[in-house]
A and B are shown apart, each in its own frame.
Chain A
Amino acid sequence: MSTASTNAGARRGMKIDLHVLGPILALVALIGIGIALNSNFLSYGNITNVLARSAFIGIIAVGMTFVITAGGLDLSVGSMAAFIAGLMILCMNLLVPSMGQSLGVILIGIAVALAAGLVAGAINGLLVTRAGIEAFIVTLGTMGIYRSLVTWLADGGTLSLDYGMRELYRPVYYDGILGVSWPIIVFAIVAILGEIVMRHTAFGRHCAAIGSNETVARYSTVAVTRVKTLTYILLGCLVGVAVVMYVPRLGSASASTGLLWELEAIAAVIIGGTVLKGGFGRVWGTVVGVLILSLIGNILNLTDMVSPYLNGAIQGVIIILAVVLQRKGSTAT
């Protein structure tokens, strides 16, 4: 009997650790596998690649963490990113003849992307809160709308940024400070600010309160409508930021831009320990989740171990495993 109880105690202690450390352990395990499989895995180039390509989904996923914590969901972010990228490229191309290939055009392009993100987020938010439609349905609708709009803008083809502008704008993705490229820096800033807002501000606490019980939150004088709308606006703005980093990479947008980004962002949020039903959010967990997803793809590309047909299956297994690890912990505690 005494052995059984000590066992139980020890196991419970481990489970609590798993709940918090689950995603980190999965990340460390992946890094270990990567090192074992390929000596270039830890090279400066590869690490920069993985972090920089994580930045788009990562920046969006930080915003998604707030939406999901407040009990919402946004399926439109991938299409929204494609639409904003298309809009931004069109605006910049239109301005080149009058303003020349100048910094001003880039700044206006960035302003257009951020403003479009804000408006698109506000539309989602207001339809959810004011019109009282389910977030799933609203954003499923806007997902289709934005995807069609970008296809229409591009005439079914690809929108490409003016060649000279592309050269001028290129450093925003490829250059950086002290060898750390801009997308990584922006991702880090967004993640740190997100973590602070989630943990140390009234807005973050209100999100969690609304997500766990909206009625109780309303009785506790939380401005439910306003906070919920703000989460969608915040997410929209962050989609704008992600697009600002995305466009300089290849200087183009098409109907296939941002395909399935919404699901990757949602998966990253859930792997990170945020509860899909809302009520609890963890921004640093989301960052870990994004890195896990990127690393799986990276490692699969660096080896021949698995048939490329099975990449999706491996990703699926790891996503489920990462969540199972922490859910076991959370049910015990």
Chain B
Amino acid sequence: MNIFFQNVIAGLETGSLYALAALGLVLIFRTTDVINFAQGEMAMFCSFIGFKLFTSLGLPYPVAFIVTIIFAVLFGFIIEKYVIRSVNKASVVSKMIVTLGLIMVISGLATALFGIDSHYLRKAITLDNLNIGGVVIQPNAIFIILVTIVIMSVLFYMIRKTLFGIAIRATAQNETTAKLMGIPVNRITSSSWIIATVLGAIAGLLIAPTTNVSTTMMGEIHLKSFIAAVVGGFGSFLGPVVGGFLIGILDNLVGYYITLKWKTVIVYGLLIVVLIFKPTGLFGKIHRKKV
């Protein structure tokens, strides 16, 4: 039983990171209909910035973390304003291809600036493991889960209760009418890119101790965050979060109890099963957006 709980906590830990990344994807998708395939690379780039601030500049870890987030704000703003908005008149599919191109641009840039080596970055919390009734828990795992819950709560409060959040949802449902009501749709789009980039950067920094900082570090998280978003439902904000936790836990349980070799295949199988019975995802509604 202890092993089971350890696996669940480890699942919540990685699941948190899937959830953060998935929420970023969904936020951009809901406001602009675009899926940002470069989300993982953008997070990787931010992680390198954090790593450099921490090692080369020798900033204390928390300061490096916060400066990285500030960088992510600027990074998201610049990518939206100068790349995505400049192809505003192109179709949604073309814009998605543009984000595919961004993968190459950003990973090329990262290789040129930071090299191809992979580097260790410390955990956010480096205290000794806790032992609660035989269940061994890493304080860092608790930290990651708590950070995710806090970020989610703030985001959900914002989306549900504030006028800004109502404007985001209105834009997601009907962009033209949102404009007619005086909502500055450009600013909403820009904000969703900024928030998504910050979420990705946080996920990147927190996964770095496990994957190391390298140009390919986000590969698995990025893919799993897509699955989380689809399983939970691209049409809702809560779905991807639940999907992220679900996949994280399943990943660990399947890996431990059944087979490590086939765990990815089984988790992908889950995606297919969910889509057969619930084509819009667990929490999804049919997404109808008028432009």
| A and B: interacting chains | no
Q: Which residues of B does A touch, CB under 8 Å?
A: none
